[in-house]
């Protein structure tokens, strides 16, 4: 069976703890939840951190605490920091890149979100890409709209990124790209034209998580994404008991498509990363 990278987005930046108390927000909770997800088959963790009042934070000390715990308890797991915007000062979004996580998310354009404009002006995108390159952090390009693929191509042309970035299509964010199967085909067609060597995955938000995962696997994606950042339920009736339960569901989806969870070493090789720090 061909391996696939299961990425787990453990926390996110939307205040959901009141909706699902299993959402991890302190570094201790985040490390514990990541460890459970790792043991269930996740090989990449996508990390946002929260201030003590649970608001989104850019504090490098919090990122450092989570990274240190993940490296200790989840050997080889790919650590990916978010440089995403919700609730964070734009000038602070790259603050933790000096900690040299394996990867960081990078949005290459702006888009409407449920209640805000997610602002990624070109100068900020260039600045974040420059700092990632300086710290040997591999980007995961977040694609919320078609033009974001061209934004990624511009970074390659500017020498700020190699020809083989990891790309994630994000579908089902209210006011952004809808979760519709034909749109994934459209985006993939354009990806193969402008970034033919890229690896890719897709994320579905809320109730779309499982459907988008199926579409991605049916098209031979290099990975899938799950986790409580995107979805806190396993069904309309029941909340997820934690990130690990969502990872187990992802592993079941992989098996239906003749795939299995990548080991950390396999995931690193697939995404062009070196051996674990
Ligand atoms: Zn995120």
Q: What is the CATH number of the domain that holds 99?
A: 3.20.20.70
What is the 46 CA–ligand 1 centroid distance (Å)? 6
What is the 224 CA–ligand 1 centroid distance (Å)? 14
**Residue 233 tokens, joined:** 């339920």
* Confidence class for position 277, pLDDT limits 50, 70, 90: low
Residue with tokens 């650590």: 79
In this structure, are residues 114 and 174 in contact, taking their beta carbons and an 8 Å threshold? yes
What is the 229 CA–ligand 1 centroid distance (Å)? 7
Distance of CA 80 to the CA centre of its chain: 7
* Mean pLDDT for all residues in the chain: 96
What is the 112 CA–ligand 1 centroid distance (Å)? 16
**Does residue 218 lie in a domain region?**
yes
Render pLDDT for 183-229 as a digit per residue (tens, 0 to 9): 999 999 999 999 999 999 999 999 999 999 999 999 999 999 999 99
**Residue 86 tokens, joined:** 């919700």
What is the 94 CA–ligand 1 centroid distance (Å)? 14
What is the 192 CA–ligand 1 centroid distance (Å)? 24
- Residue 56, sorted as left (phi over 0), alpha (psi -120 to 50) or beta, turns out to be beta
**Does residue 113 lie in a domain region?**
yes
What is the 9 CA–ligand 1 centroid distance (Å)? 6
* Confidence class for position 102, pLDDT limits 50, 70, 90: very high
The pLDDT value recorded for residue 18 is 80
What is the 47 CA–ligand 1 centroid distance (Å)? 7
C-alpha to C-alpha distance for 227 and 229, rounded to whole angstroms: 6
Predicted TM-score (pTM) above 0.95? yes
In this structure, are residues 81 and 44 in contact, taking their beta carbons and an 8 Å threshold? no
Domain span holding position 112: 2-270
**Does residue 171 lie in a domain region?**
yes
Residue 80 has pLDDT above 80, yes or no: yes
In this structure, are residues 45 and 75 in contact, taking their beta carbons and an 8 Å threshold? no
**Does residue 277 lie in a domain region?**
no
C-alpha to C-alpha distance for 48 and 21, rounded to whole angstroms: 17
Distance of CA 9 to the CA centre of its chain: 6
Number of structural domains, the chain? 1
C-alpha to C-alpha distance for 167 and 225, rounded to whole angstroms: 12
**Does residue 276 lie in a domain region?**
no
**Does residue 194 lie in a domain region?**
yes
C-alpha to C-alpha distance for 160 and 60, rounded to whole angstroms: 23
**Residue 103 tokens, joined:** 């990867």
**Does residue 52 lie in a domain region?**
yes
What is the 105 CA–ligand 1 centroid distance (Å)? 8
C-alpha to C-alpha distance for 16 and 30, rounded to whole angstroms: 14
* Confidence class for position 158, pLDDT limits 50, 70, 90: very high
- Which ranges in the chain belong to alpha helices (H)? 27-39, 60-73, 122-134, 147-157, 181-194, 209-218, 243-256, 264-270
In this structure, are residues 160 and 194 in contact, taking their beta carbons and an 8 Å threshold? no
Three-state secondary-structure class, residue 122:
helix
**Does residue 205 lie in a domain region?**
yes
Residue 257 DSSP one-character state: T
């Amino acid at each position: 069976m061909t391996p696939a990278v299961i990425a787990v987005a453990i926390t996110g930046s939307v205040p959901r703890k009141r909706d699902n108390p299993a959402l991890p927000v302190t570094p201790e909770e985040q490390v514990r939840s990541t460890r459970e997800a790792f043991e269930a088959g996740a090989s990449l963790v996508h990390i946002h951190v929260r201030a003590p009042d649970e608001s989104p934070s850019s504090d490098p000390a919090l990122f450092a605490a989570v990274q240190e715990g993940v490296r200790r308890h989840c050997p080889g797991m790919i650590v990916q920091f978010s440089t995403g915007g919700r609730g964070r000062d734009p000038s602070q979004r790259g603050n933790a890149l000096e900690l040299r996580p394996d990867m960081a998310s990078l949005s290459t354009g702006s888009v409407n979100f449920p209640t805000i404009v997610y602002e990624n002006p070109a100068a900020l995108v260039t600045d974040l890409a420059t700092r990632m390159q300086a710290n040997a952090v591999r980007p995961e390009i977040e694609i919320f709209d078609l033009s974001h693929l061209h934004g990624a191509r511009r970074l390659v042309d500017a020498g700020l990124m190699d020809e083989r970035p990891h790309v994630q299509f994000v579908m089902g964010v209210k006011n952004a790209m809808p979760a519709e199967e034909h749109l994934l085909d459209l985006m993939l067609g354009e990806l193969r034209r402008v970034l033919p060597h890229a690896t890719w995955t897709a994320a579905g938000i809320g109730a779309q998580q499982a459907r988008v995962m199926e579409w991605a696997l049916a098209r031979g994606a290099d990975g899938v994404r799950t986790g409580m950042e995107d979805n806190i339920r396993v069904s309309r009736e029941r909340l997820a008991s934690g990130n690990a339960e969502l990872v187990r569901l992802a592993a079941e989806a992989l098996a239906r498509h003749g795939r299995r969870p990548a080991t950390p070493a396999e995931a690193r090789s697939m995404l062009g990363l070196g051996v674990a720090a």
